[in-house]
Amino acid sequence: MPREKVASFEIERLEVLDEDGNLDGSLEPDLSDDDLVSMYKTMKRARALDERAIKLQRRGEIGTFAPAIGQEAAQVGSAYALEDEDWMVPSFREKPAFLTRGAPMEALLWYDAGLEEGAEIHDRNDLPPAIPVASQTVHAAGIGWAQELEDDNSASLVYFGDGATSEGDFHEALNFANVFDAHTVFVCQNNQYAISLPREEQTKSETLAQKAVSAGVEAVQVDGNDLLAVYKATRDALEKARQGKPQMVEAVTYRLSMHTTSDDPSVYRDEEEVERWKQRDPIDRIEKLLRRRDVLDDATVDGIEEEIDSEVDDAVESLKQKKADADPADIYRYVYDEIPDGLLRQMEARQGVEE
């Protein structure tokens, strides 16, 4: 019998705004200047918070921390496409997305300091950060399935990194989502490194988006440092997901800082590579566009930065007060409905020492 091709696929790549701030008007999403300034400010807030959090960690005031410096467009652009009733399912590097969804800056620092109040779900449909790699993709598929069963017009969006696409949970979640028509959008932030392992060494797949094809899920690759392209790709994906057609978006970006504050990226990558990516900084790119449109100038940028500095200062002061008011016995509470005898004895022994 002759051989014949039984399947083929293509992965499209989307870019709207280039590194010099030049715009492809035919692809520009319907966003007002106010929208763009809001997104720009959120990206700068996220970067300022990350930079301060690194200093806090170095002084021992918060725990191990995972910065998102360089990935702001991938998160702010995608989270901005969500509606309030949609669900966001984050990994552990999603401060820009949380800020976009309206999370208070101080609450994010509380979480980094080990105060679980910082991860509480209040009036937003945002799950707490997931630390195990790729586990949250399964949660998002489940939420998306529930949205389908309830004939809900909302959707779920899950964040994960390039390393997660080599985990079993990721493939199971994709397959489940498509079989059961889940309203789920899978957003991969391909930041080039799975902790310290270069992307080329942890998977030989030409793109990460094409991994979705094996589950029959539509996928697109997008310039992850292009705020407008990420927003457009995610918005389009969400529209399809609401109809029971799960989607995947691969945002090609770069982590300019360390994986977490417990590692040293200079050990596994060279400075020339980092400098090349700094030329593609996502915040600089959208700022060039807004300056070209006379929406921003030096004075407005200075004003925005002063406002953000003040907000970060207030968040740090809130953290100090929250830590001072914290009850150490809280580490024993809230995990079990009834505290096991062993933990109960530990808690009572600690209280005895304190008294």
| Residue positions annotated with a catalytic role | 255, 259, 268
For residue 170, give both structure tokens. 């990721």
CB 165 within 8 Å of CB 211 = yes
The set of residues, in sequence order, having a beta carbon less than 8 Å from that of 187 and lying 6+ positions away, is 74, 78, 157, 158, 159, 160, 234, 248, 249, 251
CB count within 10 Å of CB 125 equals 17
Return the amino acid letter for 73.
A
The Cα–Cα gap between 266 and 273 comes to: 11
Edge-to-edge strands, sheet with 13-14: 13-14, 218-223, 247-252, 184-190, 156-161, 87-89
User: What is the DSSP code string of 99-152?
Assistant: HHTT--HHHHHHHHTT-GGGG---SS-BPPP--STTHHHHHHHHHHHHHHHTT-
The Cα–Cα gap between 111 and 127 comes to: 13
Angle, alpha carbons 133-135-138 (nearest 5°): 145
Please say whether the dihedral angle defined by the alpha carbons of residues 333, 336, 339 and 343, taken in this order, is positive or negative: negative
Facing residues of 14 across strands? 222
**Phi, psi torsion values for 190, nearest 5 degrees:** -80, 90
CA distances to 10, 175, 212 from 293, in Å? 35, 44, 38
The Cα–Cα gap between 272 and 55 comes to: 25
**Phi, psi torsion values for 89, nearest 5 degrees:** -120, 100
Residue 146 CA from chain centroid, whole number: 23
